[in-house]
Amino acid sequence: MIMGINELRELKEKTWEDAKNFLNSKRANGGVMSVEDGVVYDKMSAELDKINADIARLEHLEKIENELKQPTSVSVKAPPDAVANSNTSEFRIRSTKEYYTDFINAMRGRAIGNSLIVGSDPDGGYLVPDEYERQLIDGLEEENLIRRLATTIITDSGERQIPVVASKGTAAWVEEEGDIPESDNKFGQVTLGAHKVATMIKISVELMKDSAFNMESYIAAEFARRIGVKEEEAFVVGDGNKKPTGILAASGGANVAVTAASATEITLDEVLDLFYSLKSPYRDKAVFIANDLTMKEIRKLKDNNGQYLWQPAIREGTPDTIVGKSIYTSSFVPQMEAGKKSLIFGDLKYYWIADRQSRTFQRLNEVYAKNGQVGFVAFQRVDGKLILPEAVQCLKMGAGS
């Protein structure tokens, strides 16, 4: 029987209750599970992860179906900030039906008109039309957790200087008619540049001629998957060398607020220490991010009232929570190993992603012709940095013995 979203959510809640009851029963005597019991719990935890993934897939499918039900006669318009951040005349042309048609024809190797001239890229290929750009951006956000949580800006060219308050001025008590001490804010700057990330897709000529094959959707989805995964890795652990500077970068990344006592375990007190290490104005919109294996261990933690710290989401579009804050998983956050930064907590809106103009596609007709294939190169230029490190804190595992 195929389950719907609501049935899966009910199953998730039941599976979590079973896992809690199992943990409680096995920890009743002595508080430590045996190796065999640990294996059983791991299977329950894996089942929860599987149900979560099924729910996410169905929600994504439902989102696509709702979009397909929308009217198709609405004219393509620029996003609100597009005029401020893009060449206006070029954007208008890339938003036209003629540009979109010529772009798709170029991808399929058909005759094209003159509208693509404005969208040619200096490195070769064509800037994607606005309508197709939205598909790609939606895809990147779906594949890329950090893009969903961060702040994204669009830059035309060159570097973008972001002014940041390095230290704040203060007030002081003074005597009547006494001198008022000077105290100014001091400003620093964070520079966002552009790093090139690219991928190549090969499609057989026979498949391209198949009218049932939606080549445009396939390339958009595959581009989003490949680039999205590579981007998220850089946004989390990138060192800034020819790639964005990640949230956990040794230089320019989040502050290490808590160091765990153990190299392989996290305690309730350490999670709470991390929670309160973040200044209260940032806690309002802060989220946790952890590896799947770290999440499994966090599910075992209880508060002083015997309630589990981790609470499953039962409503559509809402994530699981710990201490009332959303928790997400990313495979690029390190596992719980000695000296690794394994738990992130902060307001990710202070991680800024700078997209340089538009994504670009280039068709390669001859390179793979002897194999009966056509190549497509897709690339974009992007940078990312945490512009206010105090807005994101992390927990580092102990050194171990």
Coil vs helix vs strand at 10: helix
> In whole angstroms, what separates CA 209 from the centre of its chain?
35
pLDDT along the chain (401 residues), means of 10: 76 84 72 76 84 78 60 38 42 56 64 48 53 63 84 77 60 70 63 87 80 76 85 94 94 94 94 95 95 92 88 79 93 95 96 82 80 84 90 93 60
> In whole angstroms, what separates CA 12 from the centre of its chain?
24
Distances 378 to 170, 320, 361, 388 between C-alpha atoms, Å: 50, 35, 5, 32
Q: What is the pLDDT of residue 87?
A: 45
Q: What is the pLDDT of residue 328?
A: 93
Domains of the chain: 120-166+186-291+330-401 (3.30.2400.10)
Closest listed residue to residue 49, CA positions, set 348, 394, 57: 57
Q: What is the pLDDT of residue 225?
A: 84
235 neighbors 192 (Cβ within 8 angstroms): no
The residues pairing with 152 across neighbouring beta strands, listed in sequence order, are: 353
Helix (DSSP H) and strand (DSSP E) numbers for the chain = 12, 14
3-state helix/strand/coil string of 208-264? HHCCCCCHHHHHHHHHHHHHHHHHHHHHHHCECCCCCECCCCCCCCCEEEEECCCCC
Q: Which class for 30: exposed (0-12), middle (13-18), buried (19 or more C-beta within 10 A)?
A: exposed
Close Cβ partners of 142 (under 8 Å, ≥ 6 residues apart)? 60, 224, 228
Closest listed residue to residue 269, CA positions, set 323, 348, 233, 228: 323
User: Cα(first)–Cα(last) distance of the chain, in Å?
Assistant: 50
Within 10 A of 42 (CB to CB), how many other CB atoms are there? 12
Coil vs helix vs strand at 275: helix
Q: Which class for 141: exposed (0-12), middle (13-18), buried (19 or more C-beta within 10 A)?
A: middle
Q: Output the six-digit token pair for 210.
A: 């198949």
Q: What is the pLDDT of residue 282?
A: 94
Q: What is the pLDDT of residue 73?
A: 37
130 neighbors 91 (Cβ within 8 angstroms): yes
